[in-house]
Amino acid sequence: MGICVRCGNQRDPASQSCPHCGAGSAQPQHQPVQQHQHQPVQQTPVQAPFLETAGPPTSSPESWSPPVVSAQVAGPAPRTSVGTKLRKVFTRPPGYQSVFVWLVTGMLRNPRGLIGALLASWFNLPIAVLLGGLGMVLGGIGGYVGGAFTGQDQASSWAQNIPLLESVLGSALLQGGGIVGMLLGIAAGAIGGFVLGLLLPWFMLAAASPVEGLGRFLAQFLVAALCGFLYTIYGIATEGWHIRVFEGAREPSRRERALIEPIVADCARRLGLTSTPKLLISDDRTPNAMAYSRHIIIYRGFMDAFEYETEPLAGVICHELTHWRNADCVSNYFIRGVALPLYLAYSVCAFLLQITRGTIAFALWLAFWPIMVSIRYVVMPLQSAGIRAAEYRADQGAVYAGYRDGLRTVLARFRDSFDGARNGWDMSILATHPAPELRLERVEEPGVDYPLPDAENPDIPTPVIITGSLARD
């Protein structure tokens, strides 16, 4: 017996038609029933539009139906909340319990620079410098006059009735006493004027109202901390825009990602970091690399100088990742924010001195010299000392990760300072990087001899001067 394909009743296979419905064909009973004409084909929903099938399969076009795309995918993308955006902007390095802990740790990373910024901007340092300078000038003049007359009187009392001796001794004591008195007057006037300018405003407030004086003293700390905190938040939030606009950094290309990103991942694994900052590339030909609070920048000049070798690049990346992990850039933001009023005045004055000449430039310098002295000889030296200590710590990060040789190759190749200093004060006091030779000494492996000249230090070619016969004659 067979089964009718139309009505499903049993029928004789030898019969030409079904006795129940009159269908003209039969289907053997052992064949499965094809139900695709009555039951729709089930399709797996596609999760995104770009995963849709490009077209129907060529094997069975009749049974193909377009994939079903869920209505959720077809609709607009969900909006990102403000909290999610803020967490993305203030992404902290691993190891910090919260963003607050990360910020506070970075803010207190350089205590010397922070003390200098506080004194300079909020505790009368420019006034103290001004009074110290005036005291130095007035003390020098008064000391010279007093010393000269004192010396002349002593000569008259020592060599009375001896005309030649009295004349010689009086002239010597007149000049010597004046110089000694001038030096003593300069020292006394400078110290006295500086201390007077630093403490007199607070003594006056305390004498008028001790409670008000104490309140204003504490308010200075609060205002300075608030100013530094707000500038730090601003610096971190606008860091990407600032780097792209003022540093000229860009996204890495496909080839640059293929070269650098595996090295960054390996360095992070060796340092125990579960995340890494955003990688940017600068087309500047200077051999350099920089770490910010959320970014690291690799300069094309550095990669060109080392012909894209992996070991030196890994050593420098470990160095910069250590800076990022230690929140060194957050420290720089906070110190600059605390000293922001003074830094703004210093920047304006420096800009005006560059574009002016003659009497106008001298008048500007005469008006702003206390601020320039406070920044250049107090704030910047203290901050630079803390930054140089951070450079030593970052070098140890590369050593810990196993890239000692790569870092030594970089330091030995560039024996000049990375700061581009122009005079002794800049090289010794204001430099933000220690001398490469001292950094090489810090990363030496114990028990290994490192003789000079260093194997990685390139030979300096002998200069050849071409002259003609006219020059020789």
Shared domain check, 116 and 164? yes
**CB atoms inside a 10 Å sphere around CB 128:** 24
Shared domain check, 414 and 283? yes
Shared domain check, 296 and 186? no
User: Residue 73: inside a domain, yes or no?
Assistant: no
Shared domain check, 276 and 303? yes
Shared domain check, 275 and 231? no
User: Residue 220: inside a domain, yes or no?
Assistant: yes
Q: Answer whether 161's CB lies under 8 Å from 197's CB.
A: no
Shared domain check, 388 and 293? yes
Shared domain check, 316 and 288? yes
State residue 29's pLDDT score: 45
Q: Please say which residue of 206, 237, 268 terminates a domain.
A: 237
Shared domain check, 309 and 192? no
Q: Which residue from 268, 257, 323 is spatially nearest to 290, judged by alpha carbons?
A: 323
User: Residue 338: inside a domain, yes or no?
Assistant: yes
User: Residue 173: inside a domain, yes or no?
Assistant: yes
d(CA 81, CA 9): 63
Shared domain check, 397 and 271? yes
Against a cut of 0.85, is the pTM above it? no
User: Residue 46: inside a domain, yes or no?
Assistant: no
What distances in angstroms separate CA 221 from CA 228, 286, 331, 463, one per listed residue? 11, 40, 17, 57
pLDDT in tens, the chain (473 residues): 555 655 656 666 666 667 666 666 444 444 443 444 444 444 433 333 333 334 333 333 333 344 443 444 444 555 555 555 556 666 788 889 899 999 999 999 999 999 989 988 888 888 899 999 898 888 888 877 776 666 555 545 544 555 544 555 555 555 566 677 778 888 888 898 888 888 888 777 777 788 877 888 888 899 999 999 999 999 999 999 999 998 889 999 999 999 999 999 999 999 999 999 999 999 999 889 999 999 999 999 999 999 999 999 999 999 999 999 999 999 999 999 999 988 888 888 888 888 888 888 888 888 888 988 888 888 888 988 999 999 999 999 999 999 999 999 999 887 665 555 445 555 556 677 888 888 888 888 888 888 877 776 665 555 555 555 554 44
Shared domain check, 403 and 426? yes
State residue 463's pLDDT score: 54
Burial class (CB in 10 A: 0-12, 13-18, 19+), 135: buried
Q: Please say which residue of 187, 213, 237 terminates a domain.
A: 237
Q: Which residues pair with 249 in a beta bridge?
A: 282
State residue 149's pLDDT score: 63
List the alpha helices (DSSP H) in 76-160: 82-89, 99-107, 111-122, 125-158
d(CA 464, CA 444): 36
Shared domain check, 382 and 267? yes
Q: Which residue from 399, 333, 400 is spatially nearest to 107, judged by alpha carbons?
A: 333
Q: What share of the chain is helix, strand, coil (3-state, %, to 5)?
A: 60, 5, 35
Q: Please say which residue of 194, 213, 237 terminates a domain.
A: 237
Shared domain check, 337 and 219? no
Q: Answer whether 1's CB lies under 8 Å from 28's CB.
A: no
In the chain, how many domains are there? 2
Which DSSP string do the residues of 247-259 spell out, in sequence order? I-EE---HHHHHH
Q: Which residue range is the domain that position 233 belongs to?
A: 112-237
Q: Answer whether 241's CB lies under 8 Å from 347's CB.
A: no
Residues 388-416 as b or e (16 or more Cβ within 10 Å = b): bebbebbbbbbbebebbbbbbbbbbbbee
Phi and psi torsions of 4, nearest 5°: -75, 130
Phi and psi torsions of 409, nearest 5°: -60, -45
List the alpha helices (DSSP H) in 5-96: 71-74, 82-89
User: Residue 417: inside a domain, yes or no?
Assistant: yes
User: Residue 105: inside a domain, yes or no?
Assistant: no
User: Residue 293: inside a domain, yes or no?
Assistant: yes
